[in-house]
Amino acid sequence: MAGVTFENITISYDSKVIIDNLSLKVEDGECFAILGPSACGKTTLMRALCGFKSLDSGQIHIGGKLVGSKDKWKSVAPEKRNVGVVFQDYAVWPHYSVFENVYYPLKKRKVPKEEAKKRALHAIEQVRMKGYEERMPAQLSGGQQQRVALARALVSSDQLMVLDEPISNLDANLREEMRFEIKELQRRTGITVIYITHDQEVALAIADRMAILDQKGYVRQVGVPEDVYRNPKDSSIYKFLGVSNFIPLERRGEGYALAGEGANEPFPCDVPQELRGAARLFAACRPVDISVGDDGPVKGFVKHVVYLGNLFEYRVLLGGREIRVQQDSHEAFKTGVPREERPCALSFRNLRFYGDEEGGTPS
Amino acid sequence: MRLLRRRDGRMSTRMFGGGFDLNRILMLVCLLILIVTVAMPMIMIIYNTFFYGFTFDWSMFSKVVFDPANVDAMWNTVVIAFWVTLVGTFVGVFYAWLIGRTNIPLKGLMKTLFVIPYMFPPFIGAVAWGLLLSPRAGYINKMWMQMMGTREALFNINSIAGIVFVEVCYYFPFVFLQVVSALERMDPTLEESARISGANQFYVIRKITLPLVAPAVAAGAMLILISSLSHFGVPAMLGFSRGIFTLPTKIYELINRSAGSFEGIRQGAALSVLLVLVVVVALWLQRKILKAGHYDIIRGKSMRPMLITLRASKFPLLGVCLGSLFVIVLLPLFIIFAVGGLKAYGLPLQLSNMTFDNYYYVLFSSQMARDAIKNTFILSISSAVVAMFTGTMIAYVVVKVKVRGKAILEMLALLPYSVPGIVLAIGVILMWSGTFYVNLYNTIWIILVAYVARYVAFAMKSSSASLEQVHYSLEEAARSCGATHLESLRDITLALIRPGMIAGFFLIFLPAMRELTTSILLYGPYTRTLGVAIYAINAEGNITQSAALSAVTILIIMLGNLALRFVTRDRRSVS
Amino acid sequence: MSGVALKNVTKKFSTRTLGEVTAVDDFNLEIKEGECFSLLGPSGCGKTTTLRMIAGFEDLGGGEIWIGDKPVSVKKRNLYVQPEDRGLGMVFQAFAVWPHLNVFENVAFPLRVRKVGKSEMDSRVAEALRNTGLSGLERTFPSDLSGGQLQRIALARAIVMNPKVLLLDEPLSNLDPKLRESMRFEIKALQRRFNFTIIYVTHDQAEAMALSDRMLVMDMGKIQQIDTPTNMYTNPANKFVYGFLGLSNFVDVNISDGKAYPEGSTGQALPCAIPATFSEPSGTVASRPNEIDLTAEGGFRTEVKARIFLGDYTEYRVDVGNKEVRIQSTGDRGFKVGDSVGLDFTRVQWYSRDDSVGDAERERRKVI
């Protein structure tokens, strides 16, 4: 069990700075997600943590011990950092069997044979690959290879595990199953896990705490998933965390109205203190928090009605923009499914307000 | 101090980092090796052609280039290469298409058999066809003359047409293999979508299949072209007696006639420059004419391509295939083994005329033959080992190491691919005959140096392919599991490229075994190779013995190929 | 009339490892003209094989296929119309756009084959490109275009001849999710405009339900159900269809004294009424995660095993007897791991214990 601290980390490749003065603290025993869009630098951060990339400045500590520093002679070599890693492409060695793959770290750490064999078999069982010990990776599916990589990481270290997009290449069902298993594994063993991904669904489901990075590698928000999801600090985080609708509003006397074409429609809402008085704002809303019906405070126009089984999805024109609405199909049948190419009325819940649509400056 | 641009647009500075030293040393070592073995010989050729001592003198070059006999040789070279490429490409595409796209029976068998010429030394094929179709004594011609009661041969193999025929037999697999592979891996929906759009089978072939396969055809055709332009064995075996010369054989004749004098070698060098120019022009022309791009047409899921059902034409076409296999593969094999067992050449092929004497002679009595076998083995094995390790080291630098200037490394390593073997031989002679205080002439070492220079390219290509499959994350995973840098190289990288290295070994060992073009210029009284020995015995007139030695060579090569198949079959190795 | 009809269509393959495999088993299907019809099923269920038989790339093991009022494949009579003569349009999963031809030539190909005159060809191609949003890209080559654009080229090429029937083989599975959604709307719009009959193969049930007028679910070569999306979702014919169409909970129960006791539960019965038509002593109760309510008091008592935050939804996992049941609700009910909670099943479906037709065959094929 070990916590991890990143202090003022700067990393660059050739002449480009990838990570700029980043600081993060991961608590001992927590499952911490680092969430960010592709190519934002999170993999670079992970490589620095594992020892494959040098730092331009700053320090990395694992379990209180200094492992990464801009001075080469102070940094600890990757093989001595005691970190279990699952790489994005699993990196399961094709010339070793499942057992040999999982056994390797124990051999390198000079664990006595009997003990090592026991631990390897136990890890294989923990990832539900019992019975596959003699198989070669070429005979395994993607999901099975990923589990081998997981088992191997488990025996590599009892203090820290770093997972880099480990399930992005799996199909939807397997993805869901595996993320649950990873979480269960972490809960049972109490190991610190740093999970790196661009998939916000996984991050929200699996993390005890999470950090959100933006396109340029700056940390925008850190917190518990529920908190981050309900209170995104700016609009780009809001958008990144899930399907979102942004409704432009204009100041109209004391209140606000829909901006854009079809303007002048008053938009009744409770704008928070710090944004009151702004000439223009955006109201952000999740599809599931909008109701479409015959009565409601705001008028719109239904363009498309899509049946998805458990849900209905509506595309509604509002103030010249198309917004997305989701409704449980059950309810829809009870109250009457809206018709395409018809006007409708909308009501909103859980609105959040932002000054702009693209996201603010880094903190 | 370096200037850096940050992601939010601001600039900052950074002290220069180190840690490149080991990589730089590695690269310099590789560069040195390549310069000495590959670049210097080339430079020596150009230098000696245009400089006498230290003065620029291009009189010899112009004299050599405008000599009518040499112009003749150049013309022959071009004409032969043109026809060989044209016919060989056509034949290769025809068979590839039959096997890759129709439901002709016996595909597996034919695929294996069609590849056999690929492993044959073409000059042994020339020997065989000489036995069959030489104007007076060739067995087929004799049979024909008897049957028809004439003194006119059916076909005179000692002609340009004969040379073209034999070269086509041994070079068409270049195109065949490329096109068969392209057809098999092509995404069938590319053709299916054309069918659904209203096109019948033939329209699809014309407008879709053939254009998409064109890059593979062009690649194969290019190989045929270079091989034919550079080839020595077949024109030598079939053309000398009638005074038909190509540039490679003319170079040899020049040097031979001058008994290895420096003047002779200089002239040879001049002709080499001419030959290289011809090769370069031919390549450029071909690239312009074909201008085929590179298409990504590999299929994803395992889908079976649509096969054309041959109806009435199935058995006639099968007959054509089997017939040509018989002619190309079986007939020459048969005649070589048969004549090797004859008491004297010219005797009718009956049991009463057979003997094991020739085989006994080449295997046990003839010192030259036994020396040749020994030399060839030593040379092939050692050059394969040296070239493989050197090639792997260079491949490692090119693929894995982040250092500037590796483009030069790659270029130098691959240069020998387009340089004719005989040219390389001359360069090696000029380089290693005392000019730099090292004289290897007439020793086995000079042949070794030439082989290594020639084959490093093969090893580098094969090791690069293996190394590229070893993604860096595989090594890093080992580091994260507690392995040191060295341990990860040993446990992971080396283990994963080992099969590729072994394949690379055979990739060099086998061609080296059947090589003639380079060693014909470099051999000394005790350093004959198998190719040279066969050639010499044949030139002396001991036809049956040369046939026997050819047969033995074929056996050795076939065994070598079997060993290669065995060693490179899919086991617990890289997927 | 250009519907498509399959009558007793069968197709078998002989494989090296498994012997004979029946890919399509006695298919009977009538697709109406102008209908958007989906073939839905897991990979290896035979849906692509079926489509390829309609296209003419595979022959039949038995049965007949009719397009409109013309038979195109009849096993008994050895009648087999070539693909190029069937008058269909087809879009493939990997686009199958020809890299050596530019966009114009790709789309014009069907017209060139039929030797259509230049002016008509130009106008038809222009219209097809307009309808798929590719105007202006005529001279571009495929290697310079994105996946979405390539798929549109394939679509344009398929519709340029105004086919009566359009076949689509998982056309969107190689595109990223956002693009998939917008392409779905475009395909639907095209269909409404030109009134094609569309036969759409996919393994994505959301896609099938969003697009289709009617759909078919198949498993191991056998048709499981043919119906409209709404009917099929609300009344799945068996457990396979139920499970395939969305997240599901299956609880095996034993009936006694008119109450349903989950397997492995200690004396607690499910608070669900047993339908009058259900007469077996045991069965399976199926429910959707969003059709179960959580209550503090009452309902089927159990304990919260796990709680997963999913953004707009929160998922709870509980045990009902020896089975794990998932519940998804919007917002947070305030229950934590370890809390005692009650389940209120608002809607369930009843099935016999073993009604899964394809399971045995699935096991057999897995033995690879």
Per-residue pLDDT tens for A223-261? 999 999 999 999 989 998 989 999 988 888 778 888 876
pLDDT the model gives residue B88: 95
pLDDT at residue C146 is higher than 70: yes
User: C318: burial class by Cβ within 10 Å (0-12, 13-18, 19+)?
Assistant: buried
Find chain C residues with C-beta within 8 A of A309's C-beta.
205-206, 209, 229, 233, 245-246
What is chain B's mean pLDDT, rounded? 84
CB contact under 8 A, B5 and A77: no
Question: Which residue is closest to C307 within chain A, CA to CA?
Answer: A205
If you average pLDDT over residues B426-438, what whole number do you get? 83
What span, in angstroms and rounded, lies between the C-alpha atoms of C166 and C172?
15
Find chain A residues with C-beta within 8 A of B18's C-beta.
72
CB contact under 8 A, A87 and B19: no
Nearest Cα of chain C lies from the Cα of A177 at a distance, in angstroms, of 12
Identify whether residues C57 and C191 lie together within a single domain: yes
Last residue of a domain, one of C180, C209, C242: C242
Most confident of A216-225, B184-193, B487-496: A216-225
Identify whether residues C54 and C126 lie together within a single domain: yes
Give the residue with greater pLDDT, B115 vs A4: A4
Residue C363 within a domain: no
How many CB atoms lie under 10 A from the CB of residue A74? 11
| Residue C335 belongs to domain with CATH number | 2.40.50.140
Identify whether residues C288 and C196 lie together within a single domain: no
pLDDT the model gives residue A1: 61
Residue C365 within a domain: no
CA dihedral B89, B93, B94, B100 (to 10 degrees): 160
pLDDT band with cut points at 50, 70 and 90 for residue B7: low
Q: Does B198 touch chain A (CB under 8 A)?
A: no
If you average pLDDT over residues A257-284, what whole number do you get? 80
CB contact under 8 A, C84 and B197: yes
If you average pLDDT over residues A200-214, what whole number do you get? 93
If you average pLDDT over residues B196-211, what whole number do you get? 90
Token pair listed for A113: 């044979």
If you average pLDDT over residues B472-482, what whole number do you get? 91
CA triplet B152, B158, B163: central angle to 5 degrees?
130
Q: Touching B: which chains, 3+ CB pairs < 8 A?
A: A, C
Q: Does C89 touch chain A (CB under 8 A)?
A: no
- Does the domain spanning B1-42+358-575 belong to CATH 1.10.1660.10? no
User: What is the arrangement of strands in the sheet containing A31-35, beginning at the earlier edge strand?
Assistant: A83-86, A160-164, A192-197, A31-35, A209-213, A219-223
CB contact under 8 A, C309 and A328: no
What span, in angstroms and rounded, lies between the C-alpha atoms of C326 and C263?
17
Q: Does A12 touch chain B (CB under 8 A)?
A: yes
What is chain A's mean pLDDT, rounded? 89
Q: Do domains B1-42+358-575 and B69-340 have the same CATH topology?
A: yes
If you average pLDDT over residues A196-214, what whole number do you get? 93
B104 three-state secondary structure: coil
Among residues C9, C19, C174, C207, the alpha carbon closest in space to that of B189 is found at C174
If you average pLDDT over residues C103-109, what whole number do you get? 95
pLDDT at residue A40 is higher than 90: no
Find chain B residues with C-beta within 8 A of C168's C-beta.
none
Question: Which residue is closest to A52 within chain B, CA to CA?
Answer: B476
Identify whether residues C256 and C234 lie together within a single domain: no
How many CB atoms lie under 10 A from the CB of residue C20? 8
CB contact under 8 A, C109 and B194: yes
How many Cα atoms sit within 13 Å of B432 on the Cβ side?
Answer: 24
What span, in angstroms and rounded, lies between the C-alpha atoms of A238 and A359?
9
Count of structural domains, chain C = 2
How many CB atoms lie under 10 A from the CB of residue A232? 24
Q: Does C117 touch chain A (CB under 8 A)?
A: no
Q: Could you tell me what percent of chain B has a pLDDT over 70? A: 92
Find where tokens 């509002």 sit.
A318
Q: Could you tell me what percent of chain A has a pLDDT over 90? A: 53
Identify whether residues C86 and C230 lie together within a single domain: yes
pLDDT band with cut points at 50, 70 and 90 for residue C217: very high
What span, in angstroms and rounded, lies between the C-alpha atoms of C309 and C293?
17
Q: Which CATH superfamily is domain B69-340 in?
A: MetI-like (1.10.3720.10)
Last residue of a domain, one of C242, C274, C305: C242
pLDDT at residue A266 is higher than 90: no
Identify whether residues C223 and C281 lie together within a single domain: no
Q: Does B65 touch chain A (CB under 8 A)?
A: no
Which H or E run includes A250?
Answer: strand A245-252
pLDDT at residue A11 is higher than 90: yes
A94-121 pLDDT, tens digit per residue, is 999 999 999 999 999 999 999 999 999 9
pLDDT the model gives residue A363: 33
Token pair listed for C229: 């999306």
Find where tokens 């009463």 sit.
B352
Last residue of a domain, one of C199, C216, C242: C242
What span, in angstroms and rounded, lies between the C-alpha atoms of C239 and C204?
17
CB pairs < 8 Å spanning A and C: 56
Question: Which residue is closest to B14 within chain A, CA to CA?
Answer: A56
From residue C5, alpha-carbon distances to C24, C50, C71, C278 in Å are 15, 12, 9, 35
pLDDT at residue B490 is higher than 80: yes
pLDDT band with cut points at 50, 70 and 90 for residue A172: confident
Give the residue with greater pLDDT, B274 vs B478: B478
How many CB atoms lie under 10 A from the CB of residue C22? 16
Q: Could you tell me what percent of chain B has a pLDDT over 90? A: 19
B116-168 pLDDT, tens digit per residue, is 887 788 989 998 998 888 887 888 888 888 888 887 778 888 889 999 999 99
B126-140 pLDDT, tens digit per residue, is 989 988 888 878 888
pLDDT at residue C149 is higher than 80: yes
CB contact under 8 A, A78 and B19: no
Residue C362 within a domain: no
pLDDT at residue A359 is higher than 60: no
Identify whether residues C150 and C268 lie together within a single domain: no
How far apart are the two ends of chain A, measured CA to CA in Å?
30
| Residue C173 belongs to domain with CATH number | 3.40.50.300
Domain span at residue C45? Answer: 4-242
Question: Secondary structure of B386-445 in the HEC alphabet?
Answer: HHHHHHHHHHHHHHHCCCCCHHHHHHHHHHHHHCCHHHHHHHHHHHHECCCCCECCCCHH
User: What is the arrangement of strands in the sheet containing A280-285, beginning at the earlier edge strand?
Assistant: A255-258, A245-252, A280-285, A352-354
If you average pLDDT over residues B95-111, what whole number do you get? 86
Listed range (B54-63, C200-209, C276-285, C313-322) with the worst mean pLDDT:
B54-63
Identify whether residues C195 and C333 lie together within a single domain: no
pLDDT the model gives residue B156: 86
Residue C303 within a domain: yes
Token pair listed for C360: 């045995």
Identify whether residues C238 and C273 lie together within a single domain: no
pLDDT at residue B16 is higher than 70: no
How many CB atoms lie under 10 A from the CB of residue B115? 15
If you average pLDDT over residues C296-318, what whole number do you get? 91
If you average pLDDT over residues A13-22, what whole number do you get? 89
Q: Does A362 touch chain B (CB under 8 A)?
A: yes
Nearest Cα of chain B lies from the Cα of A80 at a distance, in angstroms, of 6
B295-331 pLDDT, tens digit per residue, is 666 655 556 666 777 777 888 888 888 898 888 888 8
Q: Could you tell me what percent of chain A has a pLDDT over 70? A: 97
Of A50, A72, A217, the CB nearest to B7: A217
Find chain C residues with C-beta within 8 A of A205's C-beta.
308-310
Identify whether residues C262 and C166 lie together within a single domain: no
User: B261: burial class by Cβ within 10 Å (0-12, 13-18, 19+)?
Assistant: exposed
Is residue B282 within 8 Å of residue B223, measured between CB atoms?
Answer: no
Token pair listed for A157: 């270290």
pLDDT the model gives residue B575: 34
From residue C364, alpha-carbon distances to B75, C21, C301, C360 in Å are 68, 10, 39, 6
Identify whether residues C230 and C259 lie together within a single domain: no
What span, in angstroms and rounded, lies between the C-alpha atoms of B250 and A80?
65
Radius of gyration, CA atoms only, chain A: 25
Report ipTM for this prediction. Answer: 0.85
Identify whether residues C324 and C284 lie together within a single domain: yes
The domain ranges of chain B are: 1-42+358-575, 69-340
B362 three-state secondary structure: helix
Token pair listed for C309: 């935050």
Is residue A269 within 8 Å of residue A250, measured between CB atoms?
Answer: no
Token pair listed for B428: 């090696």
